[in-house]
Structure 1
Amino acid sequence: MKKVVVALSGGIDSAVSAFLLKEQGYEVIGATMSFWDDIALASSWCSQGCYGPQEEENIKSARQIASQLNIEHTVINLIKEFKDIVLSYFISSYMNGKTPNPCVICNAHIKFAAFCEGIKRQGLDFDYFATGHYARKNYDNELHRWQLLKGKDALKDQSYFLCLLNQEQISRALFPLGERTKEEIKQIATDIGLGFLREREESQDFIDSSVYPYIFPAQAFTAGEIIDSTGKVLGYHQGLVNYTIGQRKHLGISGMTEPYYVVGIDAKHNRLIVGPIKELYKDRLIARDINWVSIPDLKEEIRAETKIRLAHNAALGTLLPFSENRVEVRFDEPQLSITPGQFAVFYKGDLLLGGGVIE
């Protein structure tokens, strides 16, 4: 009997994943990550993100799930690893005028790496590691390579978040929900007595912006100029960490003949650049630190779709080798709000080719 560890978050997706794997004959162990540091940080946060004091409720729910499924459960302390890797990345990105995607970093370096190592340190050996991601995998015999594919449910596909996984991580990963829809998962949960999970709110964000003062240094909130593309001063911001490309609300400027959006962030001079929506459309980008997933490398230009954020409909264009571990993407049609710091993820239909950071 093969042994699989399921990352139990306390939510419906990972719970049903554990159930499905048990039904398939695996020996299932549930494990939950703990990375909330309520000693070093304020414990009065009211956060709906995945990082916050609600972790205690998540662990409690995971234990209840494990009990009902009659599987072993363990909690792995990853406070130091999470702070050193994910939080430091999150903070430094914003401090440098970039918009981070901590979920992508967390999956590659925490969930599929430090978490698995922590489980083994507890003496639990396992053959596979499973999550509740809506994604699929495949082995290409010609390329001798593991590949990632979009989940069957297009509205729930989460392959984007897995773009930094390496071959070893994918080889031992299981995605039990990849071939199913969210509605199917909800029905299964109800049928097996876990219907109460349908009422639990799913975390949509990493962290609430209201708690930024607790994790960012004071200089992150230094006031600076809000300018247009000509350099004209239109107002003043209260810290660049509060803004991202494409943002319209809470700019604190008025008197424009049309709506203005954040079109650029100049961290070096502590300036926020704003302009009309037409200035948000760009027809190309450069992505760096590319992790090729389903293909070994990019030797020549190819046609592919590129997703510039999770909620973006992947847009058709041409990928061109640019320089060492960089790719230029030339879109067929200009795209709205290409944001430095976010991840560009490349697809050929359902096949995830690879991804990297928008430079």
Structure 2
Amino acid sequence: MKRVIVGLSGGVDSSVAAHLLKEQGYEVIGLFMKNWHDDSVTISNECPWLEDSNDAMIVAEKLGIPFQVVDLSEQYKDRIVDYMFREYEMGRTPNPDVLCNREIKFDVFMKIALDLGADYVATGHYCRKETIIKDGKEVHRLLAGKDNNKDQSYFLCQLSQEQLSKALFPIGELTKPEVREIASAQELITAEKKDSQGLCFIGKVRLPEFLQQKLQPKEGVIVRIPADATLFDKEVPKFESKEAELSFLAEKYTYQLTDGDVVGKHQGAHYFTKGQRKGLAVGGMKEPLFVIETDVNENVIYTGEGKNHKGLYRNVLFVKNDEIHWIREDLILQDGDSMNVKARIRYRQKLEKATLFKVENGLYVSFDHPQSAITEGQFVAWYKDDELLGSGVIS
């Protein structure tokens, strides 16, 4: 009997994952990760982690498996929260869920599990793992979940071969309705529980208030850039190389106050992100305003009217060498190599055709079609069919 430690989150997915593993004959232990202490920034009076850990405990009791709570709030603060503050301060938009999987669930938590004698760590992610033999070596493939609506492979885009070798995803072959059916049949308390929203493991956090703990509010202006601004008519030069062309296309637009008109005020450019529509509180426009750029140095937010505004779209993005990550280390591109893939720049986005170009100082991802709100700090993930090959931080 192999021992598996399941990250029981108090939700239906991890509950069913634990049940399925027990059915398969594993020795299953449930661990709940407590990652947050400060209840002052969660929305409403409910204390999400307390309620969740309670539900996780009731599920463990029902399944007849040992259960305990591990407090990882110190590591979570160091590795996730402080990182988020740094990124926002620089005007980038981090993805805490991707980081949480790489740094907490499949690192800190995994080490605790292995110390407890576990052979594997299991989570309730909608994705699949397949192990193949290539050149006499085991290679672990990370595949999309069977449920297209719920596929969560993107959130695991920073995992390594080492981490995958110890990971199990018991519900990857199932759809969400099937998972709920199993939970109902087993009379698990989480069967009808709504999916959690909010930061990985913190619960329902009001992001601006969360950020305001560290990043002080600072009044600045909101500038509207007209769709026909001359800066969008950049002349395309003749390129001496493919790399020169990609470099030109990956450049984002730079705006000056004089390029548009001031239409409102905000409380800090670092609270906003590209593509954001809510929270601008500017009326009187034909179409809603979208953030097309934030300038944290000058504390200015640049906006455009309507979701088709030119300032929102680009075909090419760049990832620096030290922020490129390959899950399939055997497929790493060398300088000058290219690869046709499908890629996404955010969770839930449908996969788009793209080409990877490896150059000396990094990697260009060139999409066949323009992408809306390519955002620095977020992750781009690339796939072949339903296998996630690698990812990188958009620079």
Residue type of the alignment partner of 2:190: L
Residue type of the alignment partner of 2:277: R
Residue 131 (structure 1) shift: 0.4
- Work out which of the residue numbers 118, 122, 126 in structure 1 matches 2:112: 118
Give secondary structure in 2 for the equivalent of 1:247: coil
1:30 lines up with 2:64 in the alignment: no
2:220 is aligned to 224
Q: Does structure 2 conserve the Cα–Cα contact (< 8 Å) formed by 1:6 and 1:14?
A: yes
In 2, the alpha carbon distance for the partners of 1:19 and 1:259 equals 47
Tell me the percent identity: 41
Worse overlay, 233-242 or 91-100: 233-242
1:249 is aligned to 278
Q: Does structure 2 conserve the Cα–Cα contact (< 8 Å) formed by 1:90 and 1:102?
A: yes
1:81 is aligned to 75
1:346 is aligned to 382
CA deviation profile, 1:115-171 (whole Å, cap 9, x unmatched)? 1223455xx211011000011112232263222110111111000000111111100
Following superposition of structure 1 onto structure 2, how do residues 2-81 of structure 1 map, counting pairs within 5 Å?
A: 2-38=2-38, 42=40, 45-46=42-43, 53-81=47-75
- Work out which of the residue numbers 343, 347, 358 in structure 2 matches 1:306: 343
In 1, the alpha carbon distance for the partners of 2:146 and 2:74 equals 36
Q: Does structure 1 conserve the Cα–Cα contact (< 8 Å) formed by 2:42 and 2:205?
A: no
Q: 1:217 to 1:332 in 2, by over 3 A?
A: same
In 1, the alpha carbon distance for the partners of 2:205 and 2:16 equals 31
Residue 6 (structure 1) shift: 0.6
Give secondary structure in 2 for the equivalent of 1:93: helix
CA deviation profile, 1:58-98 (whole Å, cap 9, x unmatched)? 11111101100000111111011000011111111111111
CA RMSD of aligned residues (A): 2.0
In 2, the alpha carbon distance for the partners of 1:212 and 1:236 equals 16
Give secondary structure in 2 for the equivalent of 1:221: coil
2:123 is aligned to 131
Give unmatched runs, 5+ long, in structure 2: 226-254
Residue type of the alignment partner of 2:176: K
Give secondary structure in 1 for the equivalent of 2:346: coil
Q: Does structure 2 conserve the Cα–Cα contact (< 8 Å) formed by 1:281 and 1:335?
A: yes
Worse overlay, 161-170 or 92-101: 92-101
1:188 lines up with 2:182 in the alignment: yes
Q: TM-score, normalised by structure 1?
A: 0.91
Residue 235 (structure 1) shift: 2.3
Q: TM-score, normalised by structure 2?
A: 0.83
In 1, the alpha carbon distance for the partners of 2:287 and 2:185 equals 52
Q: Does structure 2 conserve the Cα–Cα contact (< 8 Å) formed by 1:137 and 1:147?
A: yes
1:165 lines up with 2:159 in the alignment: yes
In 2, the alpha carbon distance for the partners of 1:270 and 1:218 equals 16
1:109 lines up with 2:109 in the alignment: no
Runs of 4+ with deviation above 4 angstroms: none
* Greater radius of gyration (CA): 2
- Work out which of the residue numbers 191, 195, 198 in structure 2 matches 1:202: 195
Count residues with an aligned counterpart.
349
In 1, the alpha carbon distance for the partners of 2:96 and 2:177 equals 27
Worse overlay, 277-286 or 230-239: 230-239
2:325 is aligned to 291
Q: 1:209 to 1:188 in 2, by over 3 A?
A: closer
Q: Does structure 2 conserve the Cα–Cα contact (< 8 Å) formed by 1:47 and 1:54?
A: no
